[in-house]
Structure 1
Amino acid sequence: MKKKVYRVRTQYIFEGVFEVVAENKEDARQKVLQNCGLVMGGSIHSTLSDDEIN
């Protein structure tokens, strides 16, 4: 039996908090946007040092 390709619409929404050491709130926001993320099937990660993030 020949297999077909099916497109399945999905949406993933995650909400959480990073505690970040920064000069101000905007600096903290930028650090999270640029250095933190999530890999599906993996784990939450950050490229910031342990001194900067909890």
Structure 2
Amino acid sequence: MEIDTRTYGVVRSLALRSPRFGRCGAAWAEPSPDGQKVYVACVEADRIYEVD
């Protein structure tokens, strides 16, 4: 989710889905060291997704 820091409104979001579990239930997001990707921990799917 991207938040506008002036209005605190949601600018855009990305819905991650697991074929087996449906919704992701993202618990944590961490950028890669080079800033090109984000790793998202999905607790409901027991997986980590790489988003570019």
Give your verdict on TM over 0.5: no
Q: Decide which structure has the larger Cα Rg and report it.
A: 1
Answer 1 or 2: which has greater helix percent. Answer: 1
Answer 1 or 2: which has greater strand percent. Answer: 2
Could you tell me the TM-score, scaled by structure 2's length?
Answer: 0.28
Could you tell me the TM-score, scaled by structure 1's length?
Answer: 0.28
